[in-house]
Structure 1
Amino acid sequence: MELHLLLLRYTASPDAIAEHIPGHVDYLERHHGTGTFLASGQTVPAEDGGAIVARGVDRRRIAEIIAEDPFVRAGLAAYEIVTIDAARVHPDLAEPPAEGRTS
């Protein structure tokens, strides 16, 4: 199973970022709702950016998903994708997310 660690780094001022937070939150909720995003939150310190753990889609699809982020579309942030070929996972992760299901 592939898991993806998505590291978000801000490339703009906090004031510019603040304007796009509502759209970013909607984006997160949409992908949490499908089960693709397992966890998301700010990094410490928060001014640096955030991180997301994702599953159930390949790296190409993850690249498409992060391109939808309002922060990215506005040129305010960039993601680094770290893909993990998880040999062992918790049983709760065995069920694919809705987006990754074929039936």
Structure 2
Amino acid sequence: MLHLLRLEYTKSEQAAEPHIKDHVAFLDRHHAAGTFLVSGQTVPSEQGGLIIAAGVDRATAEKIAAEDPFVHADVGRYTITTIVPGRTHPDLAGLLALDTP
């Protein structure tokens, strides 16, 4: 399963600024663990950001999102969409531990 975690700011970007260092550490920790495959800001950045997570179930993805310092500081919230890939590019199949059709 893949999970698309959409971070939406609940307050201004300026309100989130004091928490960026901790948020980046949160991202780094989950990238190093292999759970986060991609993360980045949306364009325009005022909307928030997106994360693609893999290798965990939905409940774990929800727990991880709840641990984000932006959530703890009440400057952000997540919407999670779970995806069961039906087709995968062969170059990604190994990374995602999925069989290609």
Instruction: Assess same fold via TM > 0.5.
Output: yes
Displacement, 1:16? 1.2
- Distance across 2 between alignment mates of 1:4 and 1:67: 14
- Runs of 5+ in structure 1 lacking a partner? 97-103
Report what 1:47 is aligned to: 46
- The one-letter code sitting in structure 2 at the alignment partner of 1:93 is L
Q: Equivalent residues in 2 for 1:9-88 (5 A)?
A: 9-88=8-87
Matched residue, 1:8: 7
Identity %: 53
Contact 2:7 2:78 in 1 (8 A): yes
The residue identity in structure 1 corresponding to 2:95 is L
Residue 9 of structure 1 aligns with an amino acid whose one-letter code is E
> In 1, Cα distance between the equivalents of 2:84 and 2:97?
16
Q: How many pairs were matched up?
A: 95
Map Cα deviations across residues 25-84 of structure 1 (whole Å, 9 max, x no partner). Answer: 000000000100000000010011000000000000001001110000111111000100
Match of 1:93 in 2: 95
Instruction: Report the CA distance between 1:13 and its aligned residue.
Output: 1.6
1:95 to 1:85, Cα distance in 2 relative to 1, 3 A: closer
RMSD: 1.3
- In the alignment, is the contact (CA less than 8 A) between 2:5 and 2:52 conserved in 1? yes
The TM-score normalised by the length of structure 2 is 0.89
Listed as ranges, the gaps of 5+ residues in structure 2 are: none
TM-score (norm 1): 0.87
